[in-house]
A and B are shown apart, each in its own frame.
Chain A
Amino acid sequence: MRKALGLLLAVGLLAGLSACGPQKAIRAPCPHGSVCLEYGNGSEPVSLDPPKTTGTWEDRVMGEMLIGLTQNDPEGRPVPGMATSWETSPDGKTWTFHLRHALWSDGVPVTANDFVFGLRRLMDPTTASQYAYLLFFIKNAEPVNAGKLPLTALGARAIDDHTLELTLEHPAPYLLEIAKHQTMYPLPEHAVKKWGDRWTDPGHYVANGPYKLVSWRLGDRITLEKNPLYWDAKSVCIDQINLYPTIDAIAAERRVRRGELDLNTDIESNRVAYLKRPDQMPGYVHTHTYLGVSYLVFNTQVPALADRRVRLALDMSVDRDFITGKLLRAGETPAYVFVPPGTANYQPIIPPIWTTWPLARRQAAARALLAQAGYGPGHPLKIEYKHSNSPASMLVAPALQADWKAIGVVTTLAEEEGQIAYQDLRVRNFEVGSASWIADYNDATSFLGLQQSQTGAQNYGDYKNPVFDALLAKADNEPDAKTRAAYLARAEEIMLGDATVAPISFFVNKALVNPRITGWVDNLTDWHRVQYLCVKGAR
């Protein structure tokens, strides 16, 4: 045992001694004269076929290769992409896009038909895309996706090779935002027809964006290289990108610190303050408000949780200040409403009155509600809380359990791998679940639309209130922005009053970026396309 301690001591000593002067970082090989970017991408894409994906980490790869009608500018706002100009009909239901003359990376021209093909493939019921509902504002999209109408009935039409017409069910002021989303990318019909589902293989993939696919080794990296046929190739600085599936953000942090990676798209929240210390890596840390909310969802099909009083009690007793201020503490803010502040065309609503009470009073009120619902010391409420195994969820779950214990509720924690946890929510295999939502487009409907009764799987709690649904439908058809915002705000108030969801915190986006990388602009949407990035001194 003495030897054991001796060895530990020796290792410790060595660690101390070696703290000075490390060697140069060991990086991936980079062709001579090229500018290479080592990019920590957070996770492994399940696919590079747009309709089969749902994740931001997937679009961070695909979006470097495929460009929609609009695209992200350095600040994540929509600017002309494949479309150089567009017109809207007076009723807002018909949009005509004029496309630029551009080529796929194999030299075939990109046409309006590639957009129509992409949309039809998304809506094709046999594709079984989880994200199809996002474009249900396109005419006939919902019946087409349900297999009730043929694909040709979809409101997307190529007038000629460079003119695309979209017909909508109702005006969609956020269309230009969605037009840069992964659901609306054009797909190379010639390649998909030729290779089928395997068109995404390196060697088959064709791109119309700044980069094209070189290789993809699972668990290792995806390599992209500059696409010389991209219309704006001359202003692209970085020649090669290696994207790594950095599931473990702390491991990625070590690699960025050593210079093995140039950036990572996430930081563990509770390490942000530490990393910002002057002796750590303050120049690397980027945080910015994000259009995202984390919330609890109550499964209303569970008898105990069908009772609003029970849901409200659980909602009221969560100490959000502790969660955001002490556990996460990267700048997250307590959430008492569902739509994050900063959402376009929207004013945050006034939260319920209990949110102003101190915690002790809220706990007393919660206990009273539970007592009314028939629960008490002899007969405690018992619930299961389902959450993902991400570090942040693992941190919050025991805190919730403790908060609920304080009002006499017995909580069992059930952790699952992140995607399995969401799958459980979608198939309603949960009682209380942890969920979060990042805006697909900067509009309040991106959040409120989740709770509509026709949303289906992603309305995890099966919330159904005809008044809420009617208000959202009214907003969809309301041309005046102010009146529309008022309808949406009223809807949010009703939804929060029903307490089927309990907002917990508003996100910040966090990234670790080596200061030698230029062109990185912190923004609300967290999109940072590589075509705008460069390395100091490279060009």
Chain B
Amino acid sequence: MFRFLLRRLLVAIPTLFLVITAAFFMMRAAPGSPFEMSRKLPPEILAHVEAKFGMNRPLGVQYVSYLAGVAHGDFGPSLKYQDKSVLEIVREGFPTSLTIGLSALILASLVGLTLGVLAALRQNHSLDYSVMGIAILGVCIPSFVAAPLLRQVFASNLGWVPTGGLNGPISLVLPVVVLALPQIAIISRLTRAGMIEVLHSNYIRTARAKGLSEPTVVFRHALRAAIVPLVSYLGPACAGLITGSLVVEKIFNLPGLGKSFVLGALQRDYTLVMGVLILYASLIIALNLAGDMLLAVLDPRVRLS
């Protein structure tokens, strides 16, 4: 187990390093200096401004000092929002993004699992078909179609939730639901397929033959095995949630990191964009790692492969 973890960790660290490096040089390769804000600055002034952002040194030195800064949690000042540092912006936006992401993950897992199990137990019955129909819809209706429709009904017409902005947990209900929908669809499909496979397997047949009650068979034995594909899906699910959060935060005007990233990218706020990128990359890598660990606990075969 320890060696397995160590090996995974040894992949994770270079990955993160790769992300930072790629992002750094991509930003520097981008056309246009961030300081071409105004009329041509006199050379001595430009030097002053560049020195302020540490951009007067050779690229290699800048890269090393950026890495050193990142290691200390210092991502530099935001090029665009001059009153704030990247770290402050990330700190302000991250809790919101994390809250909606985690809530959506939990919601999607619970609902997806339930639907998947129900569908598997009633395979080829109308319940199964409805669940799979919903699953197909969930994948095929993009969040930016679902979100405006849901907002129109539940915010504008019924007034149960606000149409946008962040004022208490009630503001997060719609965003979380919209974010969870496609994941519910995928998770329910995965669970259904896993359950069906397990329910037809020999050891379940044995368990049934031993005279164990149906609930015991389903919940104690089948579900445990069926959960494995779900756990291995955790990493991609989080990537999907982060991607989705870009859209959802924009639609519902939530002060999250996803919105900062898109706006920062459009406005070429390079330091901000890199900070967010590094944070998200570490998050995804950490989640993958956690998923692998969980998988290793649930399914001993993984450790050996």
Listed in ascending order, the chain A residues whose CB lies under 8 Å from chain B are: 3-4, 7, 11, 14-15, 18-19, 22-29, 44, 46-49, 52, 125-126, 128, 130, 146-147, 197-198, 200-201, 216-221, 244, 246, 248, 251, 254-255, 257-258, 260, 389, 417, 419-420, 423, 426-427, 429, 456-458
User: Which of A147, A201, A456 interacts with B39 by CB under 8 Å?
Assistant: A456
Given contacts A47-B81, A147-B42, A426-B39, contact A254 B159 (CB under 8 A): no
Q: Is B216 positioned at the interface, with any CB of A under 8 Å from its CB?
A: no
Kindly identify, within residues 144 to 186 of chain B, every residue whose CB is under 8 Å from any CB belonging to chain A. 149, 151-153, 155-168, 170-171
Overall SS of chain B's interface: loop
Are A15 and B82 in contact (CB-based, < 8 A)? no
Q: Please, how many angstroms separate the alpha-carbon atoms of A52 and B168 in the complex?
A: 33
Which residues of the other chain, A, contact B65 by a CB distance below 8 angstroms?
A: none
Are A251 and B38 in contact (CB-based, < 8 A)? no
Q: Please, how many angstroms separate the alpha-carbon atoms of A499 and B165 in the complex?
A: 45
Which residues of the other chain, B, contact A255 by a CB distance below 8 angstroms?
A: 162-165
Tell which of B44-52, B232-240, B292-300 binds the partner.
Answer: B44-52
Are B41 and A423 in contact (CB-based, < 8 A)? no
Q: Give B123-149 as 1s and 0s: 1 = Cβ < 8 Å from A's Cβ atoms.
A: 000000010011001001000000001
Q: Please, how many angstroms separate the alpha-carbon atoms of A260 and B167 in the complex?
A: 10
Q: Is B37 positioned at the interface, with any CB of A under 8 Å from its CB?
A: yes
Min CB distance, A331 to chain B, in Å? 27
Which residues of the other chain, A, contact B134 by a CB distance below 8 angstroms?
A: 3
Q: Give B227-270 as 1s and 0s: 1 = Cβ < 8 Å from A's Cβ atoms.
A: 00000000000000000000000000111100110010011100
Q: A52-B82, A128-B37 are in contact. List 17 more A-B contacts (CB 8 A).
A: A3-B130, A3-B134, A18-B158, A28-B165, A147-B42, A217-B92, A244-B165, A251-B164, A254-B151, A258-B162, A417-B266, A419-B267, A420-B266, A426-B37, A426-B38, A457-B39, A457-B40
Which residues of the other chain, A, contact B137 by a CB distance below 8 angstroms?
A: 3-4, 7
Q: Is B214 positioned at the interface, with any CB of A under 8 Å from its CB?
A: no
Which residues of the other chain, B, contact A197 by a CB distance below 8 angstroms?
A: 82-83
Q: Please, how many angstroms separate the alpha-carbon atoms of A48 and B84 in the complex?
A: 11
User: Which of A4, A7, A23, A216 interacts with B158 by CB under 8 Å?
Assistant: A23
Min CB distance, A254 to chain B, in Å? 5
What are the nearest 8 A-B pairs in CB distance? A22-B159, A457-B39, A220-B255, A23-B159, A219-B255, A417-B266, A18-B157, A456-B39
Interface centre among B140, B161, B162 (most CB of A within 10 A): B162
Are B92 and A47 in contact (CB-based, < 8 A)? no
Are B166 and A220 in contact (CB-based, < 8 A)? yes
Q: Please, how many angstroms separate the alpha-carbon atoms of A426 and B36 in the complex?
A: 8
Kindly identify, within residues 44 to 93 of chain B, every residue whose CB is under 8 Å from any CB belonging to chain A. 44-45, 48-49, 80-84, 89, 92-93
Which residues of the other chain, B, contact A44 by a CB distance below 8 angstroms?
A: 81
Kindly identify, within residues 20 to 47 of chain B, every residue whose CB is under 8 Å from any CB belonging to chain A. 32, 36-42, 44-45
| 30 CB-based A-B contacts, threshold 8 Å | A4-B137, A11-B149, A15-B149, A15-B157, A22-B156, A23-B158, A23-B160, A25-B162, A27-B167, A46-B80, A49-B83, A126-B49, A130-B37, A216-B83, A217-B92, A217-B255, A218-B81, A218-B93, A218-B255, A219-B92, A254-B156, A255-B162, A255-B165, A258-B162, A260-B165, A417-B267, A420-B266, A423-B32, A423-B37, A426-B37
Are A420 and B268 in contact (CB-based, < 8 A)? yes
Given contacts A11-B149, A126-B45, A423-B37, contact A26 B161 (CB under 8 A): yes
Min CB distance, A536 to chain B, in Å? 22
Are B253 and A128 in contact (CB-based, < 8 A)? no
Q: Please, how many angstroms separate the alpha-carbon atoms of A244 and B171 in the complex?
A: 15
Min CB distance, A251 to chain B, in Å? 5
Q: Please, how many angstroms separate the alpha-carbon atoms of A246 and B165 in the complex?
A: 10
Min CB distance, A418 to chain B, in Å? 9
Q: Please, how many angstroms separate the alpha-carbon atoms of A220 and B256 in the complex?
A: 9
Are A219 and B256 in contact (CB-based, < 8 A)? yes
Q: Please, how many angstroms separate the alpha-carbon atoms of A179 and B263 in the complex?
A: 33
Q: Please, how many angstroms separate the alpha-carbon atoms of A197 and B153 in the complex?
A: 46
Which residues of the other chain, B, contact A429 by a CB distance below 8 angstroms?
A: 32
Which residues of the other chain, B, contact A417 by a CB distance below 8 angstroms?
A: 266-267
Which residues of the other chain, A, contact B84 by a CB distance below 8 angstroms?
A: 218
Are A200 and B83 in contact (CB-based, < 8 A)? yes
Closest to B158 in A: A18
Min CB distance, A359 to chain B, in Å? 36
Closest to A205 in B: B83
Which residues of the other chain, A, contact B165 by a CB distance below 8 angstroms?
A: 28, 220, 244, 255, 260
Which residues of the other chain, A, contact B255 by a CB distance below 8 angstroms?
A: 217-221
Are A248 and B153 in contact (CB-based, < 8 A)? no
Q: Please, how many angstroms separate the alpha-carbon atoms of A462 and B259 in the complex?
A: 36
Q: Please, how many angstroms separate the alpha-carbon atoms of A257 and B140 in the complex?
A: 31
Are B161 and A130 in contact (CB-based, < 8 A)? no
Min CB distance, B59 to chain A, in Å? 22
Interface centre among A4, A52, A458 (most CB of B within 10 A): A4
User: Which of A19, A128, A251 interacts with B163 by CB under 8 Å?
Assistant: A251
Closest to A20 in B: B157
Q: Please, how many angstroms separate the alpha-carbon atoms of A427 and B158 in the complex?
A: 50
Closest to B155 in A: A258
Q: Please, how many angstroms separate the alpha-carbon atoms of A156 and B13 in the complex?
A: 58
Are A201 and B36 in contact (CB-based, < 8 A)? no
Which residues of the other chain, A, contact B48 by a CB distance below 8 angstroms?
A: 125-126
Which residues of the other chain, A, contact B256 by a CB distance below 8 angstroms?
A: 219
Given contacts A198-B83, A251-B253, contact A14 B153 (CB under 8 A): yes
Q: Please, how many angstroms separate the alpha-carbon atoms of A147 and B46 in the complex?
A: 12
Min CB distance, A387 to chain B, in Å? 14
Given contacts A26-B162, A456-B39, contact A128 B49 (CB under 8 A): yes
Min CB distance, A388 to chain B, in Å? 11
Q: Give B261-299 as 1s and 0s: 1 = Cβ < 8 Å from A's Cβ atoms.
A: 001001110000000000000000000000000000000
